[in-house]
């Protein structure tokens, strides 16, 4: 299988576009097998190659740096685009068919069974849960993709007939021309609008997860989600509609306290689980669907669900300090995720919000904050400051840093209640990512001050 991939690369004019984690992974694989082949690497960062000794020694690489790094893209045979590179405002017509990704080449050249998971929120939890279910039932599998592991880093470990769980971001899906055997579309909300020309373009990228499926593939989607109700029309695959709210015309649904699959009871929502909240129950329903499709042992699946631990920065309980309970939900980068976190915890007295402005509409979120029972809303730049202008004065605290936010939270949060970090905005521009923000929050919470 890997030989077919290398033959595909051989003697082609290849551009590695973006030299972050995935770009480096692509370079390492190609160079391992094609040591003398000419390569081209483009990155927005000036002189990025100075940070890599291996690049400075490689005489068969041409570098394209700086603001013109996206010029002449139609001159290459293959463009290995990093997920974070945006083509907003660029006409891709002449090179659209040349844009490739590690995920797509995995689907094209490897004889494996793939389960792809995407959605604005919940994809890391759902893909990790499905992977645990497979491993617990001794199915030879890997978890790759947006979860943090470039596919090419593990390409030599992939064997025929393995089952690969792929967390797939919109950026990875945007130029895909193939779809996985089982496609899961959890939800679509306004997100990443700095990367796309419109909300509709963002949604369209997500839908590539099922657009190229065959009639013996499976597509599972959330029929409660407003955007998905609008855009999911004709599908080639065997389709499962999943709903928390409506038993009618759905294949997997919740009725009272029981999850049913086509009328058969398969799960009691009161089973012990670490994945609390309705939105996590929705994630569980998708995992149950996969278990049924693959004809796994249902009792073992339910046991795996009960044992699954919450991922870091996702409604993560940090600890109880000075009789205040602290939770880290730094992954909550859109309003709906923050609202669901508050509803799940139920006892939130202080909420810390704010981050990068990506053009998301906050009007409904502001209305919710003004009418909810949260007494203290600590507002960080940039979005937090904008939201604060429309909040009730007695609720809001305006701060510049996370350090200042935590300091105030320690003073104003009522004993026995919760302080929650759930930004409803991206961390970029202030932090490297949501992980860095969450880690600093946890460190500050634990400091005695």
**Residue 367: partners with Cβ closer than 8 Å, 6 or more residues away:** none
Q: What percent of the chain has pLDDT over 90?
A: 89
Rounded Cα distance between 314 and 329, Å, is: 5
Q: What is the pLDDT of residue 179?
A: 97
Q: Are 127 and 200 in contact (CB under 8 A)?
A: no
Is the pLDDT assigned to residue 167 strictly greater than 70? yes
Q: Which two tokens stand for residue 265?
A: 């009871």
- Mean pLDDT within 45-65: 94
Asked whether residue 54 carries a pLDDT value surpassing 90, the answer given is yes
pTM: 0.91
By the 8 A CB rule, do 49 and 41 touch?
yes
Judged against a pLDDT cut of 90, whether residue 89 lies above it is answered with no
pLDDT at 159 over 80: yes
* Nearest-angstrom CA–CA distance, 414 and 448: 17
**Per-residue confidence at 193, pLDDT binned at 50, 70, 90?**
low
Q: What is the 3-state secondary structure (H, E, C) of the chain?
A: CHHHHHHHHCCCCEEEECCCHHHHHHHHHHHHHCCCCCEEEEECCCCHHHHCHHHHHCCCEEEEEHHHCCCCHHHCCEEEECCCCCCCCCCCCCCHHHEECHHHHHHHHCCCEEEEEECCCCHHHHHHHHHHHHHHCCCCEEEEECCCECHHHCHHHCCCCCEEEEECCHHHHCCCCCCCCEEEECCCCCCCCCCCCCHHHHHHHHHHHHHCCCCCCEEEEECCCHHHHHHCCCCCCEEEEEECCCCCCCCEEEECCEEEECCEEEEECCCCCCCCCHHHHHHHHHHHHHHHHCCCCHHHHHHHHHHCCCCCCCCEEEEEECCEEEEECCCCCCHHHHHHHHHHHCCEEEEEECCECCCCCCHHHHHHHHHCCCCEEEECCCHHHHHHCCCCCCCEEECCCHHHHHHHHHHHCCCCCEEEECCCCECECCECCHHHHHHHHHHHHHCCC
Mean pLDDT of 221-242: 94
Residue 238: the pLDDT is 97
Residue 254 pLDDT level (bands cut at 50, 70, 90): very high
CA-CA distance, 238 to 217, in Å (whole number)? Answer: 6
**The CATH fold of domain 103-307:** 3.40.1190
Q: Are strands 376-379 and 264-268 parallel, antiparallel or unpaired?
A: unpaired
What are the residue ranges spanned by the domains of the chain? 2-100, 103-307, 316-446
When the pLDDT of each residue in the chain is averaged and rounded to a whole number, the result is 94
**Is the per-residue pLDDT at 274 higher than 90?**
yes
Q: Are 261 and 295 in contact (CB under 8 A)?
A: no
- Is the pLDDT at 418 greater than 90? The verdict is yes
Do 147 and 124 contact (CB within 8 A), yes or no? yes
Model confidence pLDDT, tens digit, residues 296-351: 999 999 999 999 999 999 999 999 999 999 999 999 999 999 999 999 999 999 99
Cα 142 to chain center, whole Å?
17
Q: How many CB atoms lie within 10 A of CB 245?
A: 10
CA-to-CA separations, 328 to 10, 20, 377, 435, 440, in angstroms, rounded? 47, 27, 15, 10, 10
Whether domain 316-446 has CATH 3.90.190.20: the reply is yes
CB contact at 8 A, 158 and 112? yes
CB 50 within 8 A of CB 56: yes
- Please state whether 263 falls in left (phi above 0), alpha (psi between -120 and 50) or beta: left
- Does residue 196 register a pLDDT over 80? no
SS3 of 420-431: the string is EECCCCECECCE
10 Å CB burial of residue 9 (0-12, 13-18, 19+) is: buried
Confidence of residue 192 (pLDDT cuts 50, 70, 90): low
CATH number of 2-100: 3.40.50.720
């Amino acid at each position: 299988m890997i030989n077919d991939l290398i033959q595909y690369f051989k003697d082609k004019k290849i551009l590695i576009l973006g030299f972050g984690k995935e770009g480096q992974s692509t370079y390492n694989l190609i160079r391992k097998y094609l040591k003398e082949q000419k390569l081209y690497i483009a990155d927005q960062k000036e002189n990025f190659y100075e940070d890599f000794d291996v690049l400075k020694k490689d005489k068969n690489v041409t570098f394209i740096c700086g603001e013109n790094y996206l010029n002449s893209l139609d001159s290459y045979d293959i463009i290995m685009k990093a997920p974070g590179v945006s083509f907003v405002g660029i006409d891709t017509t002449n090179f659209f068919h040349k844009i490739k990704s590690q995920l797509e080449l995995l689907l094209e050249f490897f004889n494996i069974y793939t389960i792809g998971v995407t959605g604005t929120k919940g994809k890391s939890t759902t893909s990790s849960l499905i992977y645990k279910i497979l491993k617990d039932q001794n199915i030879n599998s890997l978890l790759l993709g947006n979860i943090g592991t470039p596919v090419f880093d593990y390409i030599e470990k992939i064997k025929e007939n393995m089952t690969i769980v792929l967390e797939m971001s919109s950026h990875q899906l945007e130029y895909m021309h193939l779809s996985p055997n089982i496609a899961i579309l959890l939800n679509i909300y306004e997100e990443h609008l700095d990367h796309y020309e419109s909300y509709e373009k963002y949604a369209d990228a997500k839908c590539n997860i099922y657009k190229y499926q065959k009639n013996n593939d499976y597509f599972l989607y959330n029929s409660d989600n407003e955007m998905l109700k609008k855009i999911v029309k004709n599908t080639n695959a065997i389709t499962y509609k999943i709903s928390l709210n409506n038993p009618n015309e759905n294949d997997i649904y919740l009725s009272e306290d029981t999850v049913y699959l086509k009328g058969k009871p398969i799960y009691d929502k009161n089973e012990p689980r670490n994945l609390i909240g309705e939105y996590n129950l929705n994630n569980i329903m998708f995992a149950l669907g996969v278990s049924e499709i693959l004809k796994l042992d249902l009792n073992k699946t339910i046991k795996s669900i009960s044992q699954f631990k919450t991922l870091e920065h996702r409604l993560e309980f940090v600890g109880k300090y000075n009789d205040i309970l602290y939770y880290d939900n730094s992954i909550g980068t859109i309003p709906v995720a923050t609202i669901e976190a508050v509803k799940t915890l139920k006892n939130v007295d202080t909420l810390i919000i704010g981050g990068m402005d990506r053009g998301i509409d906050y009007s409904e979120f502001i209305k919710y904050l003004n009418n909810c029972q949260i007494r203290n809303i600590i507002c960080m730049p940039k979005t937090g400051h904008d939201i604060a202008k429309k909040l009730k004065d007695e609720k809001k605290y305006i701060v510049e840093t996370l350090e200042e936010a935590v300091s105030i939270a320690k003073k104003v949060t009522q004993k026995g209640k919760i302080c929650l970090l759930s930004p409803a905005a991206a961390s970029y521009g202030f932090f490297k990512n949501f992980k860095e923000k969450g880690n600093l929050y946890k460190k500050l919470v634990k400091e005695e001050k």
